[in-house]
Chains A and B, each alone.
Chain A
Amino acid sequence: MITTFPGFNNLVHDSQSTFRILLDALSRPGTINQVTAQLTAPSGLNLACAAACLTLLDLETQVWLQPELDRSVQNWLLFHTGCRFTKETNKADFAVIWNMDRMPNLSEFKQGTPVYPEDSTTLLIDVGADNARANNRSPLLKGAGINEEITMPIDLPDSFWQQWQQNYNSYPLGIDIYFFTENKVIGLPRTSCKTNQ
């Protein structure tokens, strides 16, 4: 089945501007970055996540889609990026996650190797609009790219933060994460750590 959704309106400029925003998001963890590109995303992906997929995926990337993601998303990604899909989380270069409650443990993804630590999975997590606000439980982050401390602007479960601590401890190996809500991107690289408050 061929997708009926178009990709970026302006392929070159939209993908370049989105790439710049993704770079900024990962180099300044915890900041909110707005995707400016316009597109009609298939159901199941929000705008920022869809734009990031179109920007990052290509013929050479292995993508793991969380099960039960709408079938139209897979068709859409295949048509516009030509990426390959894998069922094994430890083979994936990118993983698209739409339901955090049922996502696999972070350690199940590709961690990279000491020679090639960059060869690890990057998670693209769609967190939905409800989580997209900080509250008094929101943890503070520290690490590279953060001036002293910053409040993580989205609400994430405690179980996630326990796994994240392990991921942080395994530096220089480990995964990096992008969180997407509507048209906003928040980066969480492996160098960021939750402070004990």
Chain B
Amino acid sequence: MKHQTERQAWMEILAKSSVVNIERQVQTLGKLPEYSFLRSPEIGLTMLRGRAGGTGEVFNLGEMTITRCVVKILDTIGFGYVGGRSKRHAELAAVCDGLLQQNEWSFTVQNQVIQPLQTIIQQKQEQQQRQTEATKVEFFTMLRGE
């Protein structure tokens, strides 16, 4: 199952990164192999479901837009599922997923695309945390003198 969780990790990073950042990192790879679309990028809706408090009854939270794409690149099949309506985002995610499954490409893509993107996501998250932290209000309960 190690392989699967690895793949889940990079798919998550590709889905959560902005298309501008992915595009910039993919440029550093130089010339990419030719690829063709098995499923051209298409926009659709998916239903999000949740449980109140994580344990309650399942309810439909609402729908969100997703864009998906499947490419065939060097005999492997890459999938891209991303939130939003950017077709280019889905396409790049699918291409990266395809390349990451190949021995000769996986190391380079991991180093030049996935890791920088992960760093950006982490930095963003930490910054957000700091900003939230700064607005934290401590409430003290004063012991009333008798």
Chain A contacts to B: CB under 8 angstroms: 2-7, 11, 79-80
Fill in one digit per residue for B22-48: 1 if any A CB lies within 8 Å of its CB, else 0: 000000000000001111101000000
Q: Smallest CB-CB separation from B37: which chain A residue?
A: A6
- 15 additional A-B pairs beyond A4-B38, A4-B72, A7-B38, beta carbons within 8 Å, are A2-B77, A3-B38, A4-B77, A5-B38, A6-B36, A6-B37, A6-B38, A6-B39, A6-B72, A7-B39, A11-B40, A11-B42, A79-B38, A79-B39, A80-B39
Q: Which residues of chain B have C-beta atoms less than 8 A from A79's C-beta?
A: 38-39
User: How far, in angstroms, from A79 to B37 measured CA to CA in the complex?
Assistant: 13
User: How far, in angstroms, from A4 to B77 measured CA to CA in the complex?
Assistant: 8
User: How far, in angstroms, from A6 to B39 measured CA to CA in the complex?
Assistant: 7
Tell me the interface secondary structure of chain A in the complex. loop
CB distance from A76 to the nearest CB of B (A): 10
Size category of the binding interface on chain B: under 10
Chain B contacts to A: CB under 8 angstroms: 36-40, 42, 72, 77
Q: Which residues of chain B have C-beta atoms less than 8 A from A4's C-beta?
A: 38, 72, 77
CB distance from A65 to the nearest CB of B (A): 21
User: How far, in angstroms, from A38 to B40 measured CA to CA in the complex?
Assistant: 15
Those 10 A-B pairs whose CB atoms lie nearest each other, nearest first: A6-B38, A2-B77, A4-B72, A6-B37, A11-B40, A6-B36, A7-B39, A3-B38, A4-B77, A4-B38
Q: Which residues of chain A have C-beta atoms less than 8 A from B40's C-beta?
A: 11
Q: Which residues of chain B have C-beta atoms less than 8 A from A11's C-beta?
A: 40, 42
Q: Smallest CB-CB separation from A2: which chain B residue?
A: B77
Q: Smallest CB-CB separation from B40: which chain A residue?
A: A11
User: How far, in angstroms, from A11 to B72 measured CA to CA in the complex?
Assistant: 17
CB distance from A42 to the nearest CB of B (A): 12
Q: Smallest CB-CB separation from A6: which chain B residue?
A: B38
What are 18 residue pairs bridging A and B, where the CB atoms are less than 8 Å apart in the complex? A2-B77, A3-B38, A4-B38, A4-B72, A4-B77, A5-B38, A6-B36, A6-B37, A6-B38, A6-B39, A6-B72, A7-B38, A7-B39, A11-B40, A11-B42, A79-B38, A79-B39, A80-B39
Q: Smallest CB-CB separation from A10: which chain B residue?
A: B40
Q: Smallest CB-CB separation from B42: which chain A residue?
A: A11
User: How far, in angstroms, from A3 to B40 measured CA to CA in the complex?
Assistant: 14
User: How far, in angstroms, from A51 to B85 measured CA to CA in the complex?
Assistant: 27
